[in-house]
Chain A
Amino acid sequence: MQFPIIVTNTETVPGRQIVEFYGVVTGNSVRAKHVGRDIMAGLKNLVGGELKGYTELLQESRQEAAGRMVEQAQSMGANAVVNLRFATSSIAQGAAELFAYGTAVRVE
């Protein structure tokens, strides 16, 4: 994952000094799997192992959620997000929400 600003999941930015903080920023993305992927995953489920289709789906979704969070931070004039956390939750049958949040800060 690459972002236009610094993102860490620690409270500090190693090598930088946090001078200002603005508040919590969030990003979300809800995705549903499509029938084709579901069928392939169903077959794979028989033998176990990685469900590649789902890995990709959730990864794309997480990327988007984090991207939105960063967009919020940028709209506040921040140049870093610290203490990043991800949460994944099942919202409805076959749909999952990827949620990312952190604190928008300015580092020097």
Chain B
Amino acid sequence: MSPESIEVLISLLFPLVLLIGTYLIGTLLERRHFTDLRAREEHFRGFPAITFENLPAGWEATSSDVVQGSVVVSLDYFKRFIAALRALVGGRVKSYEPLLDRARREANLRMIEDATSRGFHAVINVRLETSRMASARGDGKGTAGIEILAYGTAIRLASPPS
């Protein structure tokens, strides 16, 4: 084989190996994170976190403070490749869905963990913000992340729920 065709082969193989590798690792990490999220959600299931602006009727608060949880995430190489191809065709970008779902649930759980660790009993007026961080380089390449922020007002109740 000539050195030229070896070069061609390498330039074809390298992205392919990277795609397969990041797909396998990315899928594994995603699956693990979903399992972890579900377990923590079960654990904090009894903790009310709602979007009401006011206290639900019949509740009596003794103190309150703002709590928040945030997370910055990015797609793996394989999914980014698929999303880039999808951007040429248009339509539903499925590769982003699990990422955003994970990120949002993670941010929400971090907010709840913040609230429980400080002895609060519930969070009201929960809001979820999404923003894209500009990439470090000006040309639109480089690492760009998506930040999800969950915040709300945590309240301590006069008569805590059992």
Contact = CB atoms under 8 A, between A and B. Distances in A.
What class of interface size applies to chain A in its complex with B? 20 to 34
**SS class, residues of chain A in contact with chain B:** strand
Nearest to A94: B87
Given A11-B52, A26-B128, A31 B101 contact: no
Contacts of B130: 87, 89, 91, 97, 99
A93 interface: yes
A5 B108 CA distance: 25
Interface residues of B, number: 34
A6 interface: no
A96 to B, nearest CB: 9
**SS class, residues of chain B in contact with chain A:** mixed
Contact of B88 (A11, A23, A35, A91): A35
A87 B100 contact: no
A92 B87 contact: yes
B53 to A, nearest CB: 6
Nearest to A34: B90
A90 B132 contact: yes
A64 to B, nearest CB: 8
A83 B128 CA distance: 13
Nearest to A61: B92
Q: Which of A82, A93, A95, A101: most chain B CB closer than 10 A?
A: A95
B53 A11 contact: yes
8 contacts: A21-B48, A34-B88, A35-B90, A82-B52, A83-B53, A87-B130, A95-B87, A103-B52
Interface of A: 11, 21, 23-24, 26, 28-38, 82-83, 85, 87, 89-95, 97, 99, 101-103
